[in-house]
């Protein structure tokens, strides 16, 4: 079963490493007319003795590898995230082509940013000729100027080590580094930083109500992060409640198993350091990291 990434639309360039202090361009999504209350964080029982949060965090290479595998289990139904550099498909979610290790989309701006960066480090690459078309289709699901050869050329580019490095670079710049930075600022450990990362991958960090920053803002109405004197487990439950609410605002996101039978499982076990072994399910599929 292939379960592709679904991100909210972006209509501008995405951000560098700063988060919240320097706004990321929006993955714009329609805000609902009314905002229902989240499930109170207190409804989730905290584990009796959660681990102390790790001093390193998700940016530890071993933890980052785990994070990539867990995200890939949801995005690609596989732990083999390194096999996804060449992936490209229009999944019919009105975001054009979805591709690569993090689901860069031709309609959301991050694919354009990626190909622009790749062309900076390797001028004349096989994808450079598509830059005018990528600029025109940004913000839409159009393939104008991309078909019929873009998908073949993407797969060809994925054989180039520089293109793989470019995908890694943009993943870190736009998604991974900002989420880890915010997690550390909030005083959460490796698991919490992963929850932030998975949320920003799916929702982006724009100004719409379902963006990462507004998921976090919604959680703040129910609990406080450790950096503000709150309990870490209570805070993370509140964050997941807000994340589930955001996912349910759009049909493409409405299956919340990547939270319910994955992240929530780790949290209930008190595994705040995201230590292996890990067992979880996403969309009915079971996964294990030993």
Identify the pLDDT of residue 71.
95
CA dist., res. 186 & res. 57, Å (int): 12
The per-residue pLDDT for range 11-68, each reduced to its tens digit, is 333 333 333 333 333 333 333 333 333 334 334 444 433 444 434 799 999 999 999 9
Altogether, the residues listed in the chain come to a count of 290
- Name residues of the chain where pLDDT drops below 70: 1-55
CA dist., res. 204 & res. 187, Å (int): 21
Identify the pLDDT of residue 65.
98
Residues in Cβ contact with 222 at an 8 Å cutoff, skipping those fewer than 6 apart? 38, 40, 41, 238, 241, 242
Identify the pLDDT of residue 59.
96
What residue ranges define each of the domains in the chain, with the CATH number in brackets? Answer: 44-289 (1.20.141.10)
- 60: closest CA among 240, 231, 189, 239? 189
Q: Is residue 75 among the annotated active site residues?
A: yes
Identify the pLDDT of residue 100.
96
How far is Cα of residue 259 from the mean position of the Cα atoms in its chain?
Answer: 13
Q: Is residue 89 among the annotated active site residues?
A: no
Using H for helix, E for strand and C for coil, what is the string for the chain? CCCCCCCCCCCCCCCCCCCCCCCCCCCCCCCCCCCCCCCCHHHCCCCCCCCCCCCCCCCCHHHHHHHHHHHHHHHHCCCCHHHHCCCEEECCCCCCEEECCCCEECCCCHHHHHHHHHHHHCCCCCCHHHHHHHHHHCCCCCCCCCCCCHHHHHHHHCCCHHHHHHHHHHHHHHHHHHHHHHHHHHCCCHHHHHHHHHHHHHHCCCCCCCCHHHHHHHHHCCCCCHHHCCCHHHHHHHHHHHHHHHHCCCHHHCCCHHHHHHHHHHHHCCCCCCCCCEEEEECCEEEEEC
Q: Catalytic one among 75, 113, 186, 205?
A: 75
Identify the pLDDT of residue 53.
43
Identify the pLDDT of residue 139.
94
Apex 288 CA angle, 164 and 171, nearest 5: 25
Q: Catalytic one among 90, 93, 170, 186?
A: 93
Identify the pLDDT of residue 252.
73
């Amino acid at each position: 079963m292939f379960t592709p990434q679904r991100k909210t639309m972006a209509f501008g360039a995405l951000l560098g490493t700063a988060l919240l202090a320097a706004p990321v361009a929006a993955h714009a999504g329609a805000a609902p007319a009314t905002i229902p209350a989240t499930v109170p964080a207190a409804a989730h029982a905290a584990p009796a003795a959660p681990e102390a949060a790790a001093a390193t965090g998700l940016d530890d290479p071993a933890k980052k590898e785990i994070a990539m595998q867990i995200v890939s289990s949801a995005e690609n139904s596989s732990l083999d995230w390194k096999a996804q550099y060449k992936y490209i498909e229009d999944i019919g979610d009105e975001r054009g082509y979805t591709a690569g290790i993090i689901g860069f989309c031709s309609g959301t701006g991050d694919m354009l940013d990626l190909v622009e960066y790749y062309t900076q480090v390797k001028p004349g690459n096989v994808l450079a000729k598509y830059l005018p078309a990528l600029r025109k289709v940004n913000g839409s699901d159009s393939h104008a100027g991309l078909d019929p050869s873009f998908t073949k050329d993407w797969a060809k580019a994925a054989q180039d080590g520089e293109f793989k490095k470019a995908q890694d670079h943009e993943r870190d710049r736009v998604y991974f580094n900002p989420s880890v930075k915010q997690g550390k600022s909030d005083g959460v450990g490796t698991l919490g930083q992963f929850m932030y990362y998975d949320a920003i991958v799916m929702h982006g960090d724009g100004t719409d109500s379902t963006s990462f920053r507004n998921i976090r803002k919604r959680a703040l109405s129910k609990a406080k992060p450790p950096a503000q004197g709150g309990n870490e487990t209570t805070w993370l439950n509140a964050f997941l409640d807000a994340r589930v609410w955001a996912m349910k605002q759009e049909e493409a996101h409405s299956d919340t198993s990547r939270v319910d039978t994955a992240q929530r499982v780790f949290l209930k076990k008190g595994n705040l350091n995201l230590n292996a072994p890990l067992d979880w399910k996403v969309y009915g599929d079971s996964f294990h990291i030993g």
